[in-house]
Chains A and B, each alone.
Chain A
């Protein structure tokens, strides 16, 4: 917890999500870093630590992204941590800097994530060892990533009565927000009919109900409140930042795994439940205090499940909330005012940091037509495979 006082975010920047065959990850990452530095009114030489998200898509550069970025911006001998927590890497990078500041080993650090995503869906990691779950699930089952979600989604439909229209509505709501986000790759507004007419990928999930992959980058400068007040009059408070893993007995079937417990002895998506609760506790708030939430809507199923895991509503109630308009901007608890991964696309190393960017812009009142009016307290959360979750709460 924040034993040494509050922590703030004083600068954020992004490379707009899209597809850039001519860009290098270094170029996009450096752009995001420089935007964050400009936003915070500081120089690269002010940064005392860096945490950078790893990517499996970038070869050697993705293995040591922080070091390659530092070489492009200018090496200053600072501690650089490369964080490999898949889609929770961005949140983990923020957590790493928060931890370093709390321990007193630095006052100001930067978290950065960048990716150039492969076209289409993710393929195999390339290992062939008999103990490699990834090899087994491809070779023996041909099990694609979104099919894991589709299994859970179909079961949810049987247990809670979720309809195809409910699934489609999550895309409709997010797309209405994305039309106003210049950083989102996909800004077309969808109708329910258009979603239902789109191709089925892994039943019951359709192509526009699955987030596409994107290239993109995001950076956030995190510092002690004491330092922040020297630099800006409007620091946004990092009120809560958690990093958790799954609990034994979690019945979720995880990407790469070939099995899951039949009986639930821990909650579904237990890592996320723990992450939300830890962040709420650290921030001293509950879900009812939130102005909005940026959740990882990698698929229509995720939108529903993470709303419930975050305590925005009771189990089985997410569909009703969405139908009532509660998750639209202007509603009681807007979800993904940025448009979410379904509209930005997935650049997983940047995801958690892109959420921080959106939260900061919203809390500052800088988000134009996608502004959540009177935004005061925001939640962002990401999860990665194998039970990996980070939740971040920011306050004005």
Chain B
């Protein structure tokens, strides 16, 4: 990245939700070592009422998952979401990962979601700009991008 006099940084919007900085950003989840419990964001315990173990670990979800569903939002979400101006409708997607969890995220690299997206298509996790903050830093969040 070129630095200038006013150095722009990239900052993750959240600690501990996804790996950043990284060439291969992944979602950070919690998995129980005994049962199928998987949580995002991370959890401090196993939320399965029938599991006696409660011994959990952080895992990185797979790079890819399948698009379980999506919705294109035609109205600008309010703060604390920082929307581009003028607002361009974007899709939110629910992606199913092999680890047994469906995760929500913005769908990126898709200009006409209702036409181009298909249920069960392959999606990959990326880290991308959400907005530029008051310091001029790029605030980075996780998003889902159609594969291929």
Contact = CB atoms under 8 A, between A and B. Distances in A.
A320 interface: no
Contacts of B50: 248
B119 A158 contact: yes
B48 A248 contact: yes
A251 B38 CA distance: 12
A286 interface: no
Contacts of A257: 104
B41 interface: yes
A260 interface: yes
B69 A147 contact: no
A124 B80 contact: yes
Most buried by A among B38, B77, B114: B77
A151 B71 contact: yes
A213 B143 CA distance: 31
A57 to B, nearest CB: 15
A140 interface: yes
Contacts of A137: 104
A155 B41 CA distance: 23
Interface string A125-149: 0001010010111111111100100
Contacts of A151: 68-71, 92, 94
B71 A142 contact: no
B21 interface: no
A95 B90 CA distance: 42
A138 B81 contact: yes
A248 B49 contact: yes
Nearest to B114: A203
B102 A262 contact: yes
A147 B72 CA distance: 8
Contacts of A258: 40-41, 103-104
Nearest to B99: A262
A259 B103 CA distance: 4
B20 interface: no
Contact of A138 (B68, B80, B96): B80
Instruction: Using C-beta atoms within 8 Å of the partner chain, give the interface range for chain A.
Output: 35 or more
Interface residues of B, number: 46
Contacts of A262: 68, 96-97, 100-102
Given A140-B141, A259-B103, A261-B100, A124 B78 contact: yes
Interface string B86-129: 00001010101100111111100000011000010000000000
A308 interface: no
Contacts of B71: 147, 150-151, 154, 202-205
A81 to B, nearest CB: 27
Contacts of A138: 77-81
A155 to B, nearest CB: 4
B132 interface: no
B102 A253 contact: yes
A202 B69 contact: no
A144 B77 contact: yes
Given A138-B77, A261-B102, A263-B36, A154 B97 contact: no
Contact of A140 (B13, B48, B72): B13
B46 to A, nearest CB: 10
A132 to B, nearest CB: 10
Nearest to B29: A259
B80 A253 contact: no
B34 interface: no
A143 B75 contact: no
Most buried by A among B39, B72, B113: B72
Contacts of A123: 78-79
Nearest to A156: B69
A257 B74 CA distance: 21
B15 interface: yes
Interface in A196-211: 199-205
Interface string B1-34: 0000000000001111100000000000000000
A20 interface: no
B72 to A, nearest CB: 4
Interface of A: 121, 123-124, 128, 130, 133, 135-144, 147, 150-152, 154-155, 158, 199-205, 248, 251, 253, 257-263
21 contacts: A124-B81, A130-B14, A130-B15, A137-B104, A138-B80, A140-B13, A142-B106, A143-B77, A147-B73, A147-B92, A151-B94, A152-B69, A154-B69, A199-B74, A248-B48, A251-B102, A253-B94, A259-B104, A261-B38, A261-B100, A261-B101
